[in-house]
Amino acid sequence: MGMKENDYLCPKCKGHLNVGGSLVFATETHRKHKGLIMLNPKIGEYDYKHHPNFSLEKGESVDFHCPICHANLTAAKNKDYAMILMVVNEDNCDYELYFSKKAGNKSTYVVAKEEIEAFGEDAMDYEDLFYE
Ligand SMILES: [Zn+2]
């Protein structure tokens, strides 16, 4: 026992996005539908929960917003990705966590300074991610 859960923070307001084992985001689709999404924060898990009246089409691009300060979480480095901060309490490290804004796209990147790790079957080379 004693394994501390990771924390996930909004990069703008530093508010906690993880609640009850999920990451909570306010989202808006390209069709201008708005809704809350709860993502599994585990790297490599891509399931999400949503209200039945709010659904995503596969491949649809979704804008993720902080539910606390409403900042748009689109990554400055690549507009196809959203970025939040991941705090690993075990080793007191902060990471940037990038995930695809496309529904159904399985790619996640974790960045700690110069080190980048890619996860997911749709993940491309990180050089394509940041230096297109
Ligand atoms: Zn925020």
pTM > 0.75: yes
Distance from Cα 53 to the centre of ligand 1, integer Å: 25
SS3 81: strand
pLDDT band at residue 114, thresholds of 50, 70 and 90?
low
Q: Residue 73 and residue 64: Cα distance in Å, rounded?
A: 6
Got the DSSP string for 82-132? EEEEEEETTTTEEEEEEEESBTT---EEEEETTEEEEESTT---HHHHH--
Q: Residue 11 and residue 103: Cα distance in Å, rounded?
A: 22
Distance from Cα 127 to the centre of ligand 1, integer Å: 28
Mean pLDDT value across residues 31-58? 88
pLDDT band at residue 72, thresholds of 50, 70 and 90?
very high
Distance from Cα 25 to the centre of ligand 1, integer Å: 10
Sequence ranges of the domains in the chain: 7-130
